[in-house]
């Protein structure tokens, strides 16, 4: 055998040994890769923040409340019976408009869009597919979502109003109408229980916010997965500052004597003739000018000298009489100095008016 043949046989032996070596390693690694492939569908690679989904729901609710307030203002000139009679229809129409312009067209509500979220067809990703492109909602899902949310809520509201108006809940227990009423109430209770269970499941896995989303396999996902969630605390800081400022004012205002401050400003800026002028010198002696002024300030049409008679009269240093509670309150509020409503003189003390004087 020549040298070349010997070298070729040695190379073949070495190649077969190397091939066996890689084959053994591949068989070992193949089992690991197979187990990993089986685990990938259940691996939660796509995690949507629960707070973002709940915030989207709150934003949708606030938007609806704002539009509803504007809607009621449109019908403010109509009779109140009109609003009470057609309230379910008007709210259903508003829900339908919002649904048509948001979820039906773009696959996401306005609140979800502000939170960088949109709906996808979770049935297309049921096998664990985590592709970068999310499957859009199918036409069936869009139509069914509108029927369940808008139509279902309207039907339930109108049905409850109709049965309540006809008094089906007041019949005997054996009456078919009362039985239907009880069935509807049990259905509502069951729906609330299932909604609670679904919400607890949502808090656990963060997939479906409500029963309709779970039934139709509509899951909220990020519109742009690469974008970071940015939280602005500017509005929160502004609210905290205004709240602290309001609390400080509420603490400070009782400590400020506004009446006394007003009198000081009047004495400083206005002439003395203005401060001494009082238009209540025409009142009879048995009338309290302070009570009369208070009734005029309250714009009471029945204000008269006879309705403001003196009670427990006290006399000021200028010689005019007032009710004790009225004059004492004025002196306390204005810092112990107050100008008489009859003559404009400055009063600083009072004394009880004797009966024989």
Return mean pLDDT, the chain.
Answer: 79
- Residue located via tokens 């800081």: 237
Find the mean pLDDT for residues 47-73: 89
- The pLDDT-based confidence of 135 (bands split at 50, 70, 90) is confident
pLDDT in tens, 267-287: 667 666 555 556 677 778 788
pLDDT in tens, 64-86: 999 999 888 888 888 777 878 88
Find the mean pLDDT for residues 159-180: 87
Mind giving me the DSSP string for 263-322?
A: HHHHHHHS-HHHHH--TTTTS-TTB-HHHHHHHHHTT-TT--SGGGB-SSEEEETTS-EE
By the 8 A CB rule, do 337 and 314 touch?
no
pLDDT in tens, 215-246: 999 999 888 876 555 666 677 788 888 888 88
Tokens of 238: 């502004």
d(CA 357, CA 354): 5
Find the mean pLDDT for residues 313-318: 84
pLDDT in tens, 173-191: 888 888 899 999 999 999 9
Amino acid 241: pLDDT = 87
d(CA 88, CA 78): 16
Amino acid 146: pLDDT = 92
Find the mean pLDDT for residues 313-333: 83
Q: Do β-strands 313-316 and 117-121 pair in parallel, antiparallel, or remain unpaired?
A: unpaired
Please tell me whether the overall predicted TM-score, pTM, comes out greater than 0.85 for this model. no
Find the mean pLDDT for residues 316-323: 84
In 3D space, the residue among 55, 61, 162 whose CA is nearest the CA of residue 116 turns out to be 55
Find the mean pLDDT for residues 81-108: 89
Least confident segment among 2-16, 37-51, 142-156 = 2-16
């Amino acid at each position: 055998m020549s040298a070349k043949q010997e070298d070729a046989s040695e190379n073949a032996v070495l190649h077969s040994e190397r091939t066996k070596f890689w084959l053994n390693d591949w068989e070992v690694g193949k089992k690991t890769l197979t187990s990993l492939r089986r685990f990938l569908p259940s691996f939660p690679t796509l995690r949507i923040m629960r707070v973002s989904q709940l915030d989207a729901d709150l934003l949708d609710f606030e938007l609806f409340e704002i539009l509803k307030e504007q809607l009621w203002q449109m019908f403010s000139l109509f009779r109140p019976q009109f609003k009470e009679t057609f309230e379910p229809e008007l709210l259903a129409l508003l829900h339908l408009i919002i649904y048509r312009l948001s979820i039906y067209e773009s696959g996401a509500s306005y609140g979800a869009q502000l939170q960088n979220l949109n709906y996808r067809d979770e049935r297309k990703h049921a096998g664990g597919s985590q592709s970068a492109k999310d499957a859009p909602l199918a036409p069936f899902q869009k139509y069914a979502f509108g029927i369940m949310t808008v139509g279902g809520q309207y039907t339930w509201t109108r049905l409850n109003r109709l049965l309540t108006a006809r008094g089906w809940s007041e019949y005997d227990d054996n009456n078919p109408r009362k039985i239907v009423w009880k069935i509807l109430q049990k259905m509502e209770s069951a729906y609330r229980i299932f909604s609670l269970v679904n919400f607890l499941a949502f808090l656990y896995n963060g997939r479906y916010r409500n029963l309709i989303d779970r039934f139709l396999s509509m899951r909220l996902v990020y519109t742009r997965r690469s974008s970071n969630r940015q939280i602005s605390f500017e509005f929160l800081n502004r609210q905290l500052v205004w709240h602290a400022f309001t609390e400080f004012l509420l603490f400070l205002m009782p400590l400020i004597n506004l009446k006394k401050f007003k009198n000081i400003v009047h004495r400083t800026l206005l002439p003395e003739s203005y401060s001494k002028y009082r238009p209540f010198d025409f009142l009879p002696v048995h009338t309290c000018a302070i009570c009369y002024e208070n009734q005029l300030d309250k714009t009471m049409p029945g204000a008269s000298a006879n309705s403001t008679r003196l009670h427990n009269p006290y006399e000021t240093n200028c010689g005019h009489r007032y009710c004790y509670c009225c004059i004492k309150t004025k002196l306390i509020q204005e810092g112990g100095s107050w100008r008489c409503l009859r003559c404009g003189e400055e009063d600083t003390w009072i004394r009880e008016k004797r009966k024989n004087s």
